[in-house]
Amino acid sequence: MVSVLDRDSELRRRAWDAAASVVDPEIPVLTIADLGVLREVALDGDHVEVAITPTYSGCPAMNMIALEIEVALERAGFRRSKVRTVLSPAWTTDWMSEEGRHKLRAYGIAPPQASSSRRALFGEQAVACPQCGSENTEVLSEFGSTSCKALWRCKSCREPFDYFKCH
């Protein structure tokens, strides 16, 4: 026999899984759950409310992500959903999952360093090349192809690479 409580938590899990499957349009190997952008999935009857948090204030991927969540929920059978943006607490790269960091590296993007702090924002950083693993690297530009990335170059294998900035 399935109790109401079980059915609710089962539904909530299905809603979470559907929302969590949405990927970042700019870095399609990462889901919004890997990124820590997905904050909460709440269920009220058949209405789903999803809370997401932006990585950077002006990140243009947020609108796309919100739309993708609604589509994913619809596909999973949830017809009524709403996505809201929460600003607090502010997103940090510390919320990125270990799995997310592995996926990033395998994709050719150096993952953010473990603990973000003002020191990491201002201080010297040693970023390992995602291609050859060398730490003999240099920054080419603090700002890269998207808000969240910087452009680096490996001095050992000579390959340029993206670095997911500590934030």
Partner 1 sequence: MSVANIEVSETPLVLYALRRADDALILGHRLSEWCGHAPMLEEDMALSNIALDLIGQARELYSYAAKAEGKDNDEDKLAYLRDVRQYRNLLLVEQPNGDFAQTLVRQFFYSAFADLYWRAMMNSRDTTLAAIAAKSEKESAYHLRHASEWLIRLGDGTDESHARAQAAIDQLWAFTGEMFAVDDGERALIHAGIAIDPGTLRGRWLQTLSDVASEATLVLPQNDWMQQGGRVGRHSEHLGHLLSELQSMQRTFPGLTW
Site residues (vs partner 1, CB under 8 A): 54, 56-60, 87-91, 118, 121-122, 140-145, 147, 151, 165, 167
Closest to partner 1 by CB, 73 vs 166, is: 166
Closest to partner 1 by CB, 4 vs 122, is: 122
Closest to partner 1 by CB, 44 vs 138, is: 138
Closest to partner 1 by CB, 103 vs 165, is: 165
Please state the closest distance from residue 35 (CB atom) to partner 1, in A: 15
Please state the closest distance from residue 80 (CB atom) to partner 1, in A: 24
Please state the closest distance from residue 59 (CB atom) to partner 1, in A: 7
Task: List CB contacts of 112: < 8 A, sequence separation 6 or more.
Answer: 93, 96, 101, 163, 164, 165, 166, 167
Please count the helices (runs of H) and the strands (runs of E) in the chain.
5, 7
Are the C-beta atoms of residues 85 and 104 closer than 8 Å to each other?
no
Please state the closest distance from residue 2 (CB atom) to partner 1, in A: 40
Please state the closest distance from residue 93 (CB atom) to partner 1, in A: 10
Burial of 15 per CB tally in 10 Å (0-12, 13-18, 19+): buried
Q: Which of 110, 96, 156 is nearest to 132 (CA)?
A: 156
Closest to partner 1 by CB, 56 vs 107, is: 56
DSSP readout, 77-97? T--EEEEEE--SSPP-GGGS-
For residues 7 and 14, what is the distance between their CA atoms, to the nearest angstrom?
11
For residues 35 and 23, what is the distance between their CA atoms, to the nearest angstrom?
9
